[in-house]
Structure 1
Amino acid sequence: MSDEVKNTLMIIAAGEFSMGILGNAFIGLVNCMDWIKNKKIASIDLILTSLAISRICLLCIILLDCFILVLYPDVYATGKQMKIIDFFWTLTNHLSVCFATCLSIFYFLKIANFFHPLFLWMKWRIDRVIPRILLMCLAVSVVISFPVIENLNDDFRLCVKAKWKANLTLRCRVNKAQYASIKVCLNLLTLFPFSVSLISFLLLILSLRRHTRQMRLNATGCRDPSIEAHVGAMKAVISFLILFIAYYLSFLVATSSYFMPETELAVMIGELIALIYPSSHSFILILGNNKLRQAFLKVLWKVTYILKRRNF
């Protein structure tokens, strides 16, 4: 990979990182300021803030991995740095997916219209259990992340250092295969919360269909807030599902860098695609939330006003 290509890819990565940090930091800052002002925080704001913090950490880990891959590729051979990066990438990855799933479930329970006793009981309890659910997601993510660092033994680190060599021993191939299987299994665990989000999306569609049919029977022609809430929630969930699929595929490519010699370009492109998910979804959430959207427009108006004054 030539220096020009490396510099271009790093500039793109830095740009995506900056946009992601701005979007997620904005979500966290607005919600925290509202928390301090009102002395309490709504469940939706707590989920969004937790999701924003996890994605800020995820963005930092991905960008750090990009820089190390391009500038210091041999640093993984020391073992300690490799353990730290792998642990926190796996941790923040699972946290981000779990918190996004919690957001999908919250939208479903608050907006959908069903009369099943179990649904009504969950809808009544959801605000009380959200803090405990988020803490449980954190605990589960930490437990899931530990097998990554436990499998990094000295033999494997020597094999990582030799990944650019043409002749690899059988022992190296076995060690890499074992580590790859653990990485793949841990990544597959994120498919469970993804499936829950998908089910929530499908149930929201069903709820919207039933509500629309009821509106037609009642011959109501006015603009219905429930339909708008359904559509807004579905946009947030479907954007997460689409971006997560792209992120998941690129994540598999990026984390396989230890097992594919001479594929730094493919790994960098995979990490650039992975950066799109935590960066762009934050702005979708901002535009879909009334409080965040109003705050964003206010900040945008002030920035535009300041820039115009400086030009004149």
Structure 2
Amino acid sequence: MSDVEYHTLMIIAIGEFSVGILGNAFIGLVNCMDWIKNKKIAPIDLILTCLAISRIFLLCIILLDCFVLILHPDVYATGKQMRIIDFFWTLTNHVSVWFATCLSIFYFLKIANFFHPLFLWMKWRIDRVIPGILLVCLAFSVFISLPVTENLNDDFRLCVKFKQKTNLTLRCRENKAQYASIKVLTLNALALFPFSVSLISFLLLILSLWRHIKQMQLIATGARDPSTDAHMGAMKAVISFLLLFIAYYLSFLVATSSYFMPETELAVIIGELIALIYPSSHSFILILGNNKLRQASLRVLLKVTHALKKMKCLTP
């Protein structure tokens, strides 16, 4: 790959990283300032803040991996650095996914209308248990990320280092198969559970909305009440997460499997560029779907616009 292509890809990566940091930092800053001002934080704000922080770390790890792959590819032939990068990528990835799943569950419990005793009990308890659930998600993510640090043995690192110089031996193939199986399990298969939970929450929201609309039709034709708007807003947030999540994992699977093939650095980098879209763009969808964050963003835009106009007037 030429220097021009490398520089172009890195500029794109830095651009996606900057946008993601801006959106997630804005969510965290607004909620933290409101927390300090009111001496308390709402459960939805706590989830959004934790999700934003986890995605900031995820963005940093992905960008660091892009820089290492381009500027210092030999790092992947050493043990300690590669283990650290893989561990924190796995950790931040799972934490981000689980926090997003908590957000989907919270939307479902707060907005959906069902009368099952279990649902009503969970709806009543959800505000109190959110901090504990987030801590459990963090602890579980640490636990399932630990096998990554134990799976990167010397044989695999030699395979990565010399994949362009030597033919693959039987030991190398067996080692790659072992690494691939653990990688798929820890980074992909385990993520299917939170994805399934979010999908079920989305489907139940659709069912709740459908039942609510039928009830409203008995009262007034074409009426659009706050409950319907709440359903639609929650469904937009969840479906955007699901779609971006699928694109993220497909690109991540390409990047992961490409380490086992010759001449695939370009595929790895492109996969990581696509992966950056998920934690970067979803934050702005959450901002637009949250009234407090949306109003805060409008105030910031007005102040920035006013400052730019003032600077333009002062310019001779």
Confirm or deny a common fold (TM above 0.5): yes
After TM superposition, give the deviation of residue 73 of structure 1 in Å. Answer: 0.8
The runs of at least 4 consecutive aligned structure 1 residues that moved more than 6 Å come to: none
For structure 1, the 5+ residue unaligned runs are none
Q: Deviation at 1:223? A: 3.4
Instruction: Give the residue type in structure 2 aligned to 1:23.
Output: G
Q: Deviation per CA, 1:190-248: give whole Å up to 9, x if none.
A: 01100000000000000000000000011265530000000000000000000000001
**Residue aligning to 1:263:** 264
| CA-to-aligned-CA distance 1:84-130 (integer Å, 9 cap, x gap) | 00000000110111000000000000000000000000000000110
- Percent identity, aligned pairs only, is 84
Q: Look up the match of 1:172.
A: 172
User: What's 2:103 paired with?
Assistant: 103
State the match for 2:31 in structure 1.
31
TM-score by length of 1: 0.98
User: Which whole-Å deviations, capped at 9, do the CAs of 1:23-52 have from their partners, x for residues lacking one?
Assistant: 000000000000011111000000000000
Please say if residues 162 and 168 of structure 1, whose CA atoms lie closer than 8 Å, have aligned partners that are also in contact.
no
Q: Which residue of 2 aligns with 1:224?
A: 225
Q: Quick one: distance in 2 between partners of 1:135 and 1:257?
A: 34
| Cα distance, 1:8 vs structure 2 | 0.6
Query: Is 1:88 paired with 2:88?
Result: yes
> Does residue 283 of the first structure (1) align with residue 284 of the second (2)?
yes
Any idea what SS the aligned residue of 1:260 has? Answer: coil
CA distance in 2, matches of 1:282, 1:77: 35
Segments of 5+ residues of structure 2 without an aligned counterpart are none
Q: Distance in 2 between matches of 1:3 and 1:166?
A: 26
Q: In the aligned structure 1, how far is the partner of 2:246 from the partner of 2:18?
A: 22
State the superposition RMSD in angstroms: 1.0
Kept in 1: contact 2:52–2:283 (CA 8 A) = yes
In 1, the alpha carbon distance for the partners of 2:17 and 2:222 equals 45
Give me the whole-angstrom Cα distance separating, in 2, the residues matched to 1:255 and 1:223.
46
The residue aligned with 2:213 is 212
Alignment partners' CA distance in 1, 2:264 and 2:152: 21
Aligned residue type for 1:123? K
Superposition TM-score, scaled by structure 2 size: 0.97
Query: Residue type of the partner of 2:214?
Result: R
Q: Secondary structure at the match of 2:260?
A: coil
